[in-house]
Amino acid sequence: MRCPSCGQTESKVVDSRPSEDGSTIRRRRECLDCGRRFTTYERLGENPLIVLKTDGTSEVYDREKIIRGVYIACAKRHISPEQINGLVDSMESELRNANVSEIKSKDLGDMVLKRLKDLDDVAYIRFASVYKDFKTVEEFASALKGL
């Protein structure tokens, strides 16, 4: 770790403490060259989940993008933000437990649909209508019959 005062890379750890939620470790360090003390934070580096899109491109998984889509589907429904966050948390937990590094956007959408179907029928249909890109009334009616 580089000293913010002199730039020296050699320092010693004086004190270490985990954060309240246990996700980071706060370390007090002392520069071995100038003696100045400074604080660093250490956090577990996670491998990003890559989403493989239908057009062949890929992008890093974005939790906020999923949450936005679910919020839109759940608009004016009696679904709390905690329920939506819980839905996304359960998806992410399933992905972590499966130890996958890449997922197709179709599979990710199917995971959302499965959870929305259990949560609220109207939100499920709203999300499905955009996600599955219904072109005809028959496709929409077929999705309704699936409920």
Give pLDDT, residue 146. 67
Q: Quickly list DSSP for 50-116.
A: EEE-TTS-EEE--HHHHHHHHHHHTTTSS--HHHHHHHHHHHHHHHHHHT-SEEEHHHHHHHHHHHH
| Residue 77 confidence (pLDDT) | 93
pLDDT at res. 147:
64
- Give every residue of the chain whose pLDDT is below 50, as ranges: none
Bridge partners for 71 per DSSP: none
DSSP 23: S
Please tell me the predicted confidence (pLDDT) of residue 10.
Answer: 93
pLDDT in tens, 37-70: 999 988 776 778 999 998 999 999 999 999 999 9
All structural domains of the chain with their residue ranges: 11-43, 50-145
